[in-house]
Amino acid sequence: MKLVIGIVRPEQANQVLEALHRAEVRGFSISRVQGHGGEMDRVETYRGTTVQMGLSEKVRFEVAVSDNFVDQTVQALCEGGRTGEVGDGKIFVLPLDHAVRIRTGDSDEGAVTPVSK
């Protein structure tokens, strides 16, 4: 089991969702985060106060998958998230020790495999 974390541009989040859907990856959660990854900074001015915005809005996908779904998930995140410009984001794959589906008490592989009906 792996936990795949993908950090993407908010405007690409929809494409990522579609790519995950096509790859039949069904369970995930997303959150809005702010981060910095070496992209060009934006300069904004508010009533004479000029600031350099060092953090950009990003969307963070967390997908817990069984080992044979890792490649498809990473590929879907890449496919949906890529624009080719600096700031497209990163993907991290982490080992996952234990998972439980709260409703049934299923654990590990059983918990991260989508219910088929």
Partner 1 sequence: MNGGIDTGDTAWMLVATALVLLMTPALGLFYAGLVRSKNTLNTFMMSIAAIAVATVTWAAVGYSLAFDGSGDLVGGLGNAFMQGVDFSPHAGTAIPELVFFAFQATFCIITTALISGAVVERMRFGAFLVFAAVWSVVVYAVLAHWSFGGGWLFERGTLDFAGGVPVEMASGFSALAAALVVGARKDYGRQALLPHNAVYVLLGAGLLWFGWFGFNGGSGFSTGQNSVLAFTNTLLCPAATLVVWFALDLFRGRKVTAIGAATAIIVGCVLITPAGGYVSPGWAMLLGALGAVPSYLLIVWRTRTRVDETLDVLAAHGTAGFIGILFIGFFAQKAWNGVSDGLLYGNAGQLLDQVLADLAAPAYAFVTTFLLLKLIGAVMPLRATDKEEAGGMDVSQHGEEAYATGEGAILLLPEERLGVPVADPG
Is 42 a binder of partner 1 (CB under 8 A)?
Answer: yes
Contact 74, 7 (CB under 8 A): no
- CB nearer to partner 1: pick between 88 and 106: 88
Is 90 a binder of partner 1 (CB under 8 A)?
Answer: no
Is 43 a binder of partner 1 (CB under 8 A)?
Answer: yes
Is 102 a binder of partner 1 (CB under 8 A)?
Answer: no
Q: Which of 22, 34, 100, 109 binds partner 1 (CB under 8 A)?
A: 34
Instruction: Say how many CA atoms lie within 13 Å of 57 toward its Cβ.
Output: 6
How far apart are alpha carbons 76 and 17 in whole angstroms?
9
Is 116 a binder of partner 1 (CB under 8 A)?
Answer: no
Using CB under 8 A, count the residues that bind partner 1.
25
Pairing relationship of beta strands 89-95 and 42-46 according to DSSP bridges:
unpaired
Is 41 a binder of partner 1 (CB under 8 A)?
Answer: yes
Q: Measured in Å, how far apart are the chain's first and last C-alpha atoms?
A: 22
Is 50 a binder of partner 1 (CB under 8 A)?
Answer: yes
Rounded to a whole number, what is the largest CA-CA distance in the chain? 58
Is 36 a binder of partner 1 (CB under 8 A)?
Answer: yes
